[in-house]
Amino acid sequence: MLSLIRNVSLLVLVIATGALVATALPTLWGGHLGGATLRFHMMASGAVVVLLPVYAITRLLMRRQPATESAMEMGAFRTLLVFGIATIATMFVCMLPVASTDTMHELVELHGWAGFAMAAAIAAVVYTTFTREKTA
């Protein structure tokens, strides 16, 4: 059952991250998010905010079972957690009434770069998870 939850949450994370990257691409060329694009970006981000902890918890619970993980696999997972938390935290802090306008602009910039790094990390997680050699 844990394996199913882990795999489904990873699948939805991949789809949501793909949607987030697709909606954020115009920002690389000086564009901005607004209107329907921003709304779609926020809906996909809701899936990431909910499913990243679900994936992390199920993955960590499965480590107690006798399955082995390579150092590369664990490194990709940890990288996903670091950049995922950074992506979520930068936007969360930006929404609090403590940051100045300049700080908010910096946080949004960090949010974007952390998000693109998270996308690369999730690609590494998928690669290392599903290409590991099965040992009998």
pLDDT at 134: 52
What's the rounded mean pLDDT across residues 2-17?
93
pLDDT at 69: 75
Tally of CB atoms within 10 A around 48 = 22
Q: What type of residue sits at position 77?
A: F
Please determine, for residue 136, whether its predicted confidence score (pLDDT) is greater than 60.
no
What's the rounded mean pLDDT across residues 13-40?
91
pLDDT at 64: 61
Instruction: For residue range 67-97, list pLDDT tens digits in order.
Output: 667 788 889 999 999 999 999 999 999 999 9
Q: What type of residue sits at position 47?
A: A
In this structure, what is the dihedral angle of CA atoms 32, 37, 40, 46, given to the nearest 10 degrees?
10
Residue 33: both structure tokens together: 């998010």
Determine the 3-state secondary structure of 127 from DSSP: helix
Give the integer Cα–Cα distance in Å for 66 and 136. Answer: 12
DSSP 8-state secondary structure symbol assigned to residue 63? T
- As a whole-number percent, the residues of the chain with pLDDT over 70 amount to 93
For tokens 């664990």, the residue is 74
31 falls in which pLDDT band (50, 70, 90)? confident
Tally of CB atoms within 10 A around 9 = 21
Task: State which of 16-30, 53-67, 78-92, 94-108 shows the largest mean pLDDT.
Answer: 78-92
